[in-house]
Amino acid sequence: MPSRSPPSTPSRVQALYDLCKRTFPPPSSSSSSPPPDHAIRAVSSLLDTITPADVGLGDDDVDESNILKDSLSAVTPPFMYLHVYNCDAFSIGIFCLPTSVTIPLHDHPGMTVLTKLLYGSMHVKSYDWVEPAVLASNSNSKPVRLGELHKDDVMNAPCPTAVLYPQSDGNIHCITSVSSCAFLDVVTPDPQYQFESTGHVCSYFHDYPFSSFCK
């Protein structure tokens, strides 16, 4: 009697898609709450197991010829983005950064972001808003808001998955590649859905020392 081949094991990327599909329901205008803790833990645990090879990358696998360069935007740095999947409920994508590239200080309003550093090193500086809002104006009469430093550190792969919530854990952040690096992002809900719902995906910021507003 011929032996049967064992059933194939789904790839970790397929497993991530399947888990996100089960875990993140379609967004609703009546609810803007982040996913429950158990859902975040389940997706984080799976992300922790994903390696560069699982997504078809090798260490330091940044092809400079495919780096995205937007000469029309002063806030868009050169990087490579690999789209994996998106729907209203979530998106999956990979950012590949050459050394010394900075993604400027920005937020993900209303979104929860799970980030798995696949290889390399990146410096992360992040803030949370101080509540209730503390507003002032700078010398150019632009409105400013007081933020509290959440993280100012270098992440080295391999490391645990980082989670940014809509109102906490460093949702306002900037990233600088210390070495060539790549990270896998799962964002819920999908940024395009947020744009269609609210008219913007993210805002960019400048950070100023608190002392510059002390008289």
How does pLDDT run across 162-210, given as a tens digit for each residue? 999 998 999 999 999 999 999 999 999 988 876 666 666 788 888 888 7
Cα separation, 103 vs 78, in Å, equals: 9
pLDDT, tens digit, 9 for 90 and up, residues 180-191: 999 999 999 988
The overall pTM is greater than 0.85: no
Position 45 scores a pLDDT of 97
Q: Which residues are CB-contacts of 191 (< 8 A; sequence separation ≥ 6)?
A: 91, 108, 111, 201, 202
| Contact call for residues 135 and 144 (beta carbons, < 8 A) | yes
Q: Does the pLDDT at position 113 exceed 50?
A: yes
**Domains of the chain, CATH where assigned:** 12-206 (2.60.120.10)
23 pLDDT higher than 90:
yes
**CB neighbourhood size of 139 (10 A):** 8
Q: Is the model's pLDDT at 4 over the cut of 60? A: no
pLDDT at position 140 over 80: no
How does DSSP classify residue 79? B
CA distance 99 to 176: 8
Q: What is the pLDDT of residue 1?
A: 45
Residue 124 burial (10 A CB sphere; 0-12, 13-18, 19+): buried
User: With DSSP H G I counted as helix, E B as strand and the rest as coil, what are the percentages for the chain, rounded to 5?
Assistant: 20, 35, 45
Q: What is the pLDDT of residues 82-106, one digit of tens each?
A: 999 999 999 999 999 999 999 999 9
Confidence at residue 215, expressed as pLDDT on a 0 to 100 scale: 54
